[in-house]
A and B are shown apart, each in its own frame.
Chain A
Amino acid sequence: MTQTTSTDDAPVITANDLTLGTVAESHSQMDYVVEVYRERERERPPEKQDYKFGQPVYTTTTIRGTEYALIGVVYDSRLVDPDQGRAGPRLSNPDQELFVPGYVDEKRTLLGVAFLGYATLEPASNGSNFTDVSQEMPPWTLEIDDSIRKLPRAGFEQFHFPDGDLRLQYYDRLISTADQFGAEVTLALLDQLRDGTAADEELLDVIEQKVRWETSSDRGVVR
């Protein structure tokens, strides 16, 4: 198993982790809406594959002097275009977007992000390590405009193998928060756990079976 041990050489999160966007809204304690950065807003804007369905993400927050990482997953996305339907003549050419009416381009990609758990951050060279990983409900709220970043593989693994054994204790919370995509996002996470981790294949099979069966029967596919 490539259990990520927190060594100074390989921090689980670094300052170089790609920032996907900022918090724009929340629906509940663990269910946030993240607005994805667009081109020209960042030096390194995220591309589509960076915020794909089931992408693990994190954000950091400081509570009473302690740094925490809140770990979540992209479970939904919405595209917003207030201009949609305005098919009339424009004042500008497509390459001169700055001059369209409304001054600002309001086309947006919004992500649904469910926060699954949290970990204490321990400074390491070039970044931070997770200690005390918890898959309980994150107790703190985020702020509007908090940056949401892409969680590196090492962080993903450490979050799921806090003491060497696979943990998916957020599972039922995720299913109910992600609602119609709950099963799919869980399966997407399971897929990522299969790749390269030493998770017990058979254990993952059992969990996958459970998820698939539960959703099938919930949706009336199987009765």
Chain B
Amino acid sequence: MELDIYQTDALNELGNIGAAHAATTLAQMLMSPVEMTVPEVKVVDIADVYQYIGDEISALVVFQIQGDLADGGYIVVSMPVSAVIELTNMMLGTAGSDRELTEMDQSAVIEIGNIMISAFLDSTAELLGIVMLPSPPALAVDMAHAAFQSIIAQMAADVNEVVIFSTELQSDAPPVYGSIFLLPNPELLREIIRLLEALVAT
């Protein structure tokens, strides 16, 4: 699978729109500005995924992309455990930063993931004129790579590469840091590229 420079640019732009909407919803929840890095699209060999996603312990909220394409791939919000605790402390008025994640923290991160990902998919799907909906979320608090690897095992039986599409979001007060990863399956990716090229042509 190779993406030419125009396709990469178009996907970057799509990611920009999605991530900007996700960042806005996060900023509203935090009542604080959220900065975002320019999205990056990479075609990664499955054997090299560990170079991009390490084994640090994170909270990962995972959604399957549904809608016009029944099984479009996955979209993931990943936050370090410390950032999740900052978020819950702020949202629920709890205190203490050096603790394990409670059930309350877990519900909060799932809810935040839900809101951010809905904004991401809504805005990109609207641009493309298709329906993309998140499945109910699944949560893993674990080594980030172990969770990714399980997702890849689910989607990549006959392919050896995945397209990883990542943006980082950051707020200073409270100090919250997280990433959004999009792992489209080949059909969704082809469809997105086709629709983007049609958009540019008109």
Partners in one complex: no
- Residues of A in contact with B (beta carbons under 8 Å apart): none
